[in-house]
Chains A and B, each alone.
Chain A
Amino acid sequence: MVKVEFLGPISNETLTLDIDNLSQLASILQKNENVSTWLETCAVAINDTLVSSKDVPLQEGDRISLLPPVCGG
Chain B
Amino acid sequence: MNKNNKGLELVDGPLNVQTITNNWYTAYKDSNYGAIITFVGIVRDEDEIEGLSFDVYEPILNSWFNTWQEKAEKKNALVLIAHSRGDVLNHNSSYIAAVCSAKRRVALEMIDEFVEDFKKTAPIWKYDLKNNNRVYAKDRSTKIDGAGILAL
Contact = CB atoms under 8 A, between A and B. Distances in A.
Nearest to B134: A9
Interface of B is mostly: mixed
A69 B83 contact: no
Contacts of A52: 145-146, 149
Interface residues of A, number: 31
Interface residues of B, number: 37
B115 A71 contact: no
10 contacts: A9-B55, A9-B125, A9-B136, A41-B143, A43-B143, A44-B146, A51-B149, A52-B146, A66-B150, A71-B126
Interface of B: 41, 54-55, 57, 59-60, 63, 83, 94-95, 115, 118-127, 136-138, 140-152
